[in-house]
Chains A and B, each alone.
Chain A
Amino acid sequence: MQQIILALVIGGAFGAVLDLIGASNPSVLGKMLSLKALGIMKAILLAIGLLLILTFGGQMAGLVDVGHMSVKTAETGVFVGGMILGIGWALSGYCPGTGVCALGSGRRDALFFVAGGLIGAWAYTLAYDSVKATGLLNPILGGKVTLGQVPGAKYDALFPALPGDVVGIVLGLVFIVVAFVIPERKAA
């Protein structure tokens, strides 16, 4: 029950924030991806930077449970799948999460995006065994790894000599600097 309440609260807040920053507006996303207006990119970079600093700073301070980390496997399929997703993201202006939000905020075209998403998931379900047979889903670069070795985490590191929490904080600062430096609009 507690999990369901957390899902409602965090999920609801996530949806509201995505609406507020314009992430569920395909025009905003299309202008970002065609490099016309980068305000939303700045917001995303700032968010990732803050997330890195809060997560790893919190771990160092003993306030964040390292066990809550969930690192996905690095595979060739991650790159290929990302490339496929990117085409559809540019075409529709939606990714899975923002499409669901757009549907909730009454955008009628999002109904077609979500229906398409269900078809895409079904197509992948049918294709799964053949995709697996190609080796695209085999781990690369060590599989479930972080950049540096995070103390107390169950994951290995791509660069085991580096302290993962420090890497995270430094990277977070880099993301935030980039967020501030890139222009909101392309220079004329």
Chain B
Amino acid sequence: MTVSWKLGGLLLGIVFFAAILLVKPIGVSTQFVVLDGVIADMINPDTIVAGAEGPSSPVSYFNKYAKDIANPWNYGFVFVVAMAIGAGISAAARGAFGGEGPVPALWRANFGASPWKRYMGALLGGIIVVFGARLAGGCTSGHMMSGMGQTAVSGFIFSAGTFLTAVPVALMLYKQEG
């Protein structure tokens, strides 16, 4: 951490509160589906079809997000793009753009310096994380932070499930501290 946990927690709490105060609770993982839908519609223009009652899709899961896929430059999608930009500016400002190279220190200490091994771990992790997030209907932002921050029962159920697997798996994987 580059700031103390107290300052970090304060800033993080304020950002989530600003979202609820001004617009709506923060969520991220839906936008992976939206981007998939946009890509699918580029490859096959029949993925999203215009109708009298607005855009729809013959693919049932895309149909839930048809309006956002047809016009992705709305709040949710721009928000996620802005997150990447904000993180990039912050990292550059503290001279840390690019991180520690392709292999994070903890991974290197446990699995060695091979970038491709790390890339495959990150790829597999990404597949599992977003599949799980869509089944859960949200991720760490939407369920854990925004959800528990509103006393949503779903947020507590999600967090219980997540830590139930994440902690044992991490204990198994990361025996060396690095």
- B9 contacts which of A44, A88, A121 (Cβ < 8 Å)? A44
Q: Give the secondary structure class of B's interface.
A: helix
- Report the Cα distance A120→B26, complex, angstroms: 21
Interface residues of A, CB < 8 Å — how many? 124
* A-chain residues with CB within 8 Å of residue B119 when the two chains form the complex: 108-109, 112
Enumerate A42-78 residues with CB–CB distance to B below 8 Å.
Answer: 42-52, 54-56, 58, 64-65, 68-75, 77-78
- B25 contacts which of A7, A70, A103, A105 (Cβ < 8 Å)? A70
Q: Are the CB atoms of A73 and B154 closer together than 8 Å?
A: yes
- Report the Cα distance A69→B118, complex, angstroms: 39
A-B contact pairs, 20 of them (CB 8 A): A3-B75, A4-B78, A16-B89, A33-B166, A33-B171, A36-B177, A50-B10, A64-B20, A70-B150, A74-B152, A82-B158, A82-B162, A88-B132, A96-B32, A96-B129, A96-B139, A108-B101, A113-B129, A118-B32, A136-B135
Residues of B within 8 A of A (CB): 1-3, 5-6, 8-26, 28-29, 32-33, 35-36, 39, 59-62, 73-76, 78-92, 94, 96-107, 115, 118-155, 157-167, 169-171, 173-174, 177-178
**Which B residue sits closest to A50, measured CB to CB?**
B13
CB of A141 closer than 8 Å to a CB of B: yes
**Which B residue sits closest to A58, measured CB to CB?**
B21
Question: Provided the pairs A105-B97, A113-B125 are in contact, do residues A81 and B36 lie with their beta carbons within 8 angstroms?
Answer: no
Q: Are the CB atoms of B153 and A147 closer together than 8 Å?
A: yes
- Report the Cα distance A34→B107, complex, angstroms: 12
**Which B residue sits closest to A54, measured CB to CB?**
B17
Residues of A within 8 A of B (CB): 3-4, 6-22, 24-28, 30-31, 33-36, 39-40, 42-52, 54-56, 58, 64-65, 68-75, 77-110, 112-125, 128-129, 131, 136, 141-142, 144-148, 150, 158, 164, 167-168, 171, 179, 184
- B157 contacts which of A13, A18, A44, A79 (Cβ < 8 Å)? A79
Q: Are the CB atoms of A3 and B23 closer together than 8 Å?
A: yes
Q: Are the CB atoms of B157 and A86 closer together than 8 Å?
A: no
- B85 contacts which of A12, A26, A42 (Cβ < 8 Å)? A12
Q: Are the CB atoms of B102 and A118 closer together than 8 Å?
A: no
**Which B residue sits closest to A79, measured CB to CB?**
B161
Question: Provided the pairs A28-B1, A81-B134, A128-B61 are in contact, do residues A119 and B126 lie with their beta carbons within 8 angstroms?
Answer: yes
Q: Are the CB atoms of A11 and B83 closer together than 8 Å?
A: yes
Q: Are the CB atoms of A124 and B10 closer together than 8 Å?
A: no
Question: Provided the pairs A40-B1, A48-B149, A106-B91 are in contact, do residues A94 and B61 lie with their beta carbons within 8 angstroms?
Answer: no
The smallest C-beta distance from A175 to any residue of chain B, in angstroms, reads: 8
**Which A residue sits closest to B175, measured CB to CB?**
A34
